[in-house]
A and B are shown apart, each in its own frame.
Chain A
Amino acid sequence: DQQVKQNSPSLSVQEGRISILNCDYTNSMFDYFLWYKKYPAEGPTFLISISSIKDKNEDGRFTVFLNKSAKHLSLHIVPSQPGDSAVYFCAASRYTNAGKSTFGDGTTLTVKP
């Protein structure tokens, strides 16, 4: 039973438009959520995170929204740039549990010039 799901394997958007990546989770014990970005042949790199005590966190062009009642979070990228083309992983963890994260399967974002 997959605890973290990213139901869209891929997403294509035009440069300058908004990209919205979605993530659902089933385990109500998760209290910390992270987004990682991964380019081919590289390791994932941290992008942005949100604690369960918040419903929004913003960092430049990136905003993460958390809806605890729906067990859903989303990553908004505005405006999207070609350099944002990568695989985006949603991850969830229990803050006190050694930081072990459960990852979704990823969404491949393609931003077209």
Chain B
Amino acid sequence: NAGVTQTPKFRVLKTGQSMTLLCAQDMNHEYMYWYRQDPGMGLRLIHYSVGEGTTAKGEVPDGYNVSRLKKQNFLLGLESAAPSQTSVYFCASRGQLNTEAFFGQGTRLTVV
């Protein structure tokens, strides 16, 4: 059981570059989420999706875009990376009958 898989695990970007983080889940979950975690802080919700083809803004959406073209995948895009986006990014998924979320292992992104 792979669960939730994030790609890549690590990345260093230069300011202004773009990139896409991929999240894949094999549990047929309806809900998917992107969080970021900064040092000493909890997880903050960036964007989320309640089903294939739908996305919505979370607490800190600025500078990010998302897409959910397939139920199992949730992509997080940075169009023009900034040093303030240096963080650890976590993807999570949840089924309609679940109360808890299942998290990926995280992507450590550094923007220089």
Contact = CB atoms under 8 A, between A and B. Distances in A.
Interface stretch (A11-19, A38-46, A59-67, A74-82): A38-46
Contact of A44 (B43, B50, B59): B43
Counting chain B residues whose Cβ lies within 8 A of the other chain, the interface size class is: 20 to 34
Interface in B36-64: 40-45, 48, 50, 56, 58-59
Interface of B: 4, 31, 33, 35, 40-45, 48, 50, 56, 58-59, 90, 92, 94, 98-106
B42 A4 contact: yes
A43 B103 contact: yes
A110 interface: no
B33 A100 contact: yes
Most A C-beta atoms less than 10 A away, residue of B50, B99, B100, B103:
B100
Given A49-B99, A89-B43, A99 B94 contact: yes
B105 A42 contact: yes
A42 B106 contact: yes
Given A43-B4, A43-B104, A43-B106, A100 B45 contact: yes
